[in-house]
Amino acid sequence: MKLAIVGVTGMVGGEILKVLDDFIVDIDEFYPVASERSAGKTIFFREKEHKILNLSQALEKEIDIVIFSAGSTISLEWAPKFAAKGIYVVDNSSAWRMSADIKLIVPEVNISLLNPEDKIIANPNCSTIQLAVVLFPLHKLYELKRVIVSTYQSVTGSGFKGSKQLMEEENGQVASNPAYPHQIYHNCIPQGGAFLDNLYTEEEEKLINEIRKIFNLSELAITSTVVRVPVLGGHSESVNIEFYEKPDLKEINSTLADSMGIVIQDTPSKNLYPMPLNVTGRNETFVGRIRYDNSNNKAINLWIVADNLRKGAATNAVQIAQYIADNFID
């Protein structure tokens, strides 16, 4: 595989390099790509020095797959240029997620939808990915009727800017370039992105629309609340799931335990449940606090945690790239 990473110097770009090693991905040629500011500098990857290219330079190279992690503006302009050359583009931004002719892929759920003609493939939002991984086996088991999710999203979901704000405030400084409209240190902010006319935020609307698209359930009853919390890494979600029939908790547990990419941590007697502190650097999605909804005999509650830079971005993208390499590239 001849692989390029656009945005290699960013937070997600750095994680992609680590995940490539985790998955022992075979790479014949590697092209790091970043902004004009970083072009010409070098990075080390797999004990070799690589010169960082700008986008124009990368477009001239013979590349099989390019992973974009540089924001939607860059993706909208450049992804079609790479795709026009027959290069597969795995895009981490929001640019293409809701485009009708672009597949929105979570490998554990719907990667079988991909075919060789799909040159641009969208990576869902971080909070969407971990939710989809858990909902999918449960949907196959009982069929989803309604989903209520509240997310507790770490500041790394806002990139270096969010992390810097938290660290500056923690050190008693006024944030020099704040990512949020309020102090995040010692605080929780019930807002993810700008508010829309329907009083939901952009992050909430993304989660709702993306889950419906991934599951091909345009009428799924799903609602969300996004909260930004003073945590450096790892998104958490409190989820209430209603089915069309009464679920069996033992069957729920065994199904999740047997599902790809899921780790159950659920021993209340030992205070064992997933926490952001313990998932850093992990590629799996963690589930705990699995219990019946005592107000609805066809519903359950559970708690989901994943490293948002890993499974929520880098890991998911690398899994897609690996599938493309295995199935579509000679």
7 and 61 together in one domain: yes
Annotation marks residue 126 as catalytic: yes
pLDDT of residue 305: 98
CA distances from 76 to 72, 73, 81, 94, 121 (A): 6, 5, 9, 10, 13
298 and 177 together in one domain: yes
Of 208, 233, 244, the residue nearest 307 (C-alpha): 233
Asked if residue 330 has pLDDT above 90, the reply is no
Specify the CATH number for the domain of residue 75. Answer: 3.40.50.720
145 and 208 together in one domain: yes
Mean pLDDT computed over 11-23: 94
Specify the CATH number for the domain of residue 205. Answer: 3.30.360.10
pLDDT in tens, 172-221: 999 999 999 999 999 999 999 999 999 999 999 999 999 999 999 999 99
103 and 230 together in one domain: no
169 and 248 together in one domain: yes
Question: Rounded to an integer, what distance in angstroms lies between the CA atom of residue 88 and that of residue 63?
Answer: 9
Asked if residue 5 has pLDDT above 90, the reply is yes
65 and 77 together in one domain: yes
* Pair 227, 150: CB distance under 8 Å: yes
pLDDT over 90 percentage in the chain: 98
300 and 203 together in one domain: yes
pLDDT of residue 63: 98
Q: Which of 50, 139, 186, 235 is catalytic?
A: 235
299 and 223 together in one domain: yes
113 and 180 together in one domain: no
Q: Which of 126, 139, 182, 188 is catalytic?
A: 126
133 and 239 together in one domain: yes
214 and 284 together in one domain: yes
Annotation marks residue 188 as catalytic: no
pLDDT in tens, 283-322: 999 999 999 999 999 999 999 999 999 999 999 999 999 9
Number of domains into which the chain is organized: 2
31 and 99 together in one domain: yes
pLDDT in tens, 230-273: 999 999 999 999 999 999 999 999 999 999 999 999 999 999 99
Question: Rounded to an integer, what distance in angstroms lies between the CA atom of residue 125 and that of residue 297?
Answer: 31
Domain that holds residue 322: 2-124+313-328
Mean pLDDT of the chain, nearest integer: 97
Asked if residue 90 has pLDDT above 90, the reply is yes
